[in-house]
Amino acid sequence: MENIQNKVVIITGTSSGIGENTAKLLAKHGAKVVLGARREERLSSIKQAIEEAGGTAVYKITDVTSSKQVEELAQLALDEFGTIDVLINNAGIMPVSPLHAQKVDEWDEMIDINIKGVLYGISAVLPTMRENKKGQIINVASALAHVVVENAAVYAGTKFAVKAITEGLRQEECENNIRTTIISPGAVQSEITNGITHEETKDAVKGMVSKVWLQPESIAKAIVYSVNEPDEVSTNEIIVRPTIQKAF
């Protein structure tokens, strides 16, 4: 993992699940990780765990729906470490429901976090990466960035958007040696299902995840793999599903 050593990596949504596991694994391999999430007690705990294991971490409370807060997270990386090598746009929510349930506020929140949060992250780091003529932006999407299933129309729509944004970014910035990667997890055991408020859908999703699921460490390993590849190699897309997951 020699290509990870001393890289400065910003990760959003690091208070649990994929973000937390990715931060710890990257730090274990020598990256300097910059943690962003909304829960300070979790950020503090994860930072402490990384440091006790010999790694380097800083954090800032960050709500990715605020472009200002995302810019401040990027500035923290610059102030502490002098550069930004990798951004992992991991923050996301999944309050899935049928359209007829009219969960309009939840639709708005998914758009704000899952799409606009990704765009704010890109905007915050791109000037530095363009100046450096190198960098990597990793966007965590979903297997539902590739197929739509019932009760997940809006969530899938946000993840289709992330996929499109990532491909557009790749085409625009490849000549600046900026690598783009989209990671699309299938069913993963995490807190993301806790946000589902439509009870019938929640029961169905939790029933599936209880039988067919990955641990977040598996997604972290895929992210670490893509970061470790040499600068001339851009791993553009990785889909990681449980072997027995069939539905999407």
- Taking 3-state DSSP, the helix, strand and coil percentages for the chain, each rounded to the nearest 5, stand at 50, 15, 30
Burial class (CB in 10 A: 0-12, 13-18, 19+), 101: middle
Q: Amino acid identity of 19?
A: G
With CA atoms as reference, report the closest residue to 159 among 176, 143, 174. Answer: 143
Choose, from 59, 120, 155, 225, the residue flagged as catalytic: 155
Q: How far is it, in rounded angstroms, from Cα 195 to Cα 177?
A: 37
**Residues 102, 103, 108: CA angle, nearest 5 degrees:** 120
Active site annotation includes 59: no
Q: Catalytic positions, please?
A: 155
